[in-house]
Amino acid sequence: MLGGIVLVIVAFVNQISASQETAEKMAHKLPSKMKAVGLYKYLPITDTNSLLDLELSLPELRKRDVLVKVKATAVNPIDTKQRAPKPNVETNPRILGWDGAGVIVAKAMNAALYNVGDEVFFTGNLGRNGSNAEYIALDEVHVARKPTNLTFEQAAAMPLTSVTAYESLYDRLLISDKDRGKSILIINSAGGVGSVASQLAKRLGLKVIGTASRSETKAFLLDNGADIVLNHTQNLLPQLEANGYGNGLDYILVNYDPYPYWDTLMKAIKPQGKICLIVDSSGLVDIKPLKEKSITLVSEQMGTRIKYQTEDISRHQEILQTISQMLEKGELKCTLTKVMKPINAANLREAHRLLEEQHLIGKLVLSGF
């Protein structure tokens, strides 16, 4: 009995020193420079200076940071919005990309959740440099273990959209198992967030109504949890009525500029229903109609907890870890649809161009340097 305990302790001590050795070895192997894609000026994507190939120093670690060697990085509408033309000029290059997967190669003193060598996926922090680089420094709250049976490319497709979709349904609309059988309309559901949100809503037992305009998009939606797909190039109200939702919907998740949809939203929502916005409105909207039907209007921005260091900041990491487990168990399907190699300025400009066209289905990931 005692012998067994001693053996366990010895094994444990050996394990610690072994992982410290690996940590040092890997830290020694770190180069002083890294490849990165960044910008100084905010230019149209057709301008070759809009995203540049750069060679930069490795990022410095803050107190709870891990340093991740990036294997794959995803692009999201937030990248094109951050890059959108404006007169500002950066003195130091700015690296975009807030979504990816890789391997931890170093960590700061107060980083306690992971070890050097761990394979992870992560969301980023808009206030810091991003994942369009060989290395990214991240507070460990942004990081979760990579689902073991997903490739780095598949894993990189998931963090940002999944956290956004999960927060929208669970933390903002407060949907839970007791809401089984209720209805949700997900406007513009073929993108990254929409395709995860439809899958999660379906698992929550909701009737999921998606919107798309092309037949290949419709097929993708039906494969990702939608029960019904409406055509968003046509008025949604008669289509809802034709499908038995003339009396309104319990929830609406608006994965698009709400401005052109506002009147439709006000009419399509049930009394006491809830609407969640995840895209900025391009114009002012009238909130008066909310009152009579006692409608709840909520917003979701991934990273609010991190930006404002809210008391529940650890929930960000919890959600990402839950997503990782769901992917591993097959409860959530990877939404990766396109991979480009390698990660360089030319490919990232092409990726941004495709995003700006707004015809992408699922997720686009870039991998390798």
Residues at the contact surface with ligand NAG, assessed by CB under 6 A:
56-57, 92-93, 95, 128-129, 149-150, 154, 213-215, 218, 231, 233-234, 328-330, 334
CB 59 → ligand NAG: shortest distance, Å?
Answer: 7
Nearest residue to ligand NAG by CB is 330
What is the CA 36 to chain-centroid distance, rounded? 21
Nearer to ligand NAG, 265 or 334 (CB): 334
Nearer to ligand NAG, 97 or 273 (CB): 97
CB 26 → ligand NAG: shortest distance, Å?
Answer: 21
CB 213 → ligand NAG: shortest distance, Å?
Answer: 5
CB 328 → ligand NAG: shortest distance, Å?
Answer: 6
Nearer to ligand NAG, 17 or 32 (CB): 32
Nearer to ligand NAG, 278 or 348 (CB): 348
CB 242 → ligand NAG: shortest distance, Å?
Answer: 14
For the stretch 138-151, what's the b/e string if a residue is b when 16 or more beta carbons lie within 10 angstroms of its beta carbon? bbbbbbbbbbeebb
Contact criterion met (CB below 8 Å) for 321 and 345: no
Nearer to ligand NAG, 129 or 161 (CB): 129
Nearer to ligand NAG, 168 or 264 (CB): 264
**Residue carrying structure tokens 């949700």:** 184
What is the rounded radius of gyration, in angstroms, for the C-alpha atoms of the chain?
A: 22
Nearer to ligand NAG, 165 or 295 (CB): 165
CB 320 → ligand NAG: shortest distance, Å?
Answer: 17
Nearer to ligand NAG, 158 or 175 (CB): 158
CB 210 → ligand NAG: shortest distance, Å?
Answer: 11
d(C-alpha 112, C-alpha 98), whole Å? 22
Contact criterion met (CB below 8 Å) for 93 and 55: no
d(C-alpha 287, C-alpha 275), whole Å? 12
CB 212 → ligand NAG: shortest distance, Å?
Answer: 6
Half-sphere exposure of 58 (CA within 13 A, CB side): 20
Nearer to ligand NAG, 38 or 273 (CB): 38
CB 278 → ligand NAG: shortest distance, Å?
Answer: 23
Nearer to ligand NAG, 54 or 111 (CB): 54
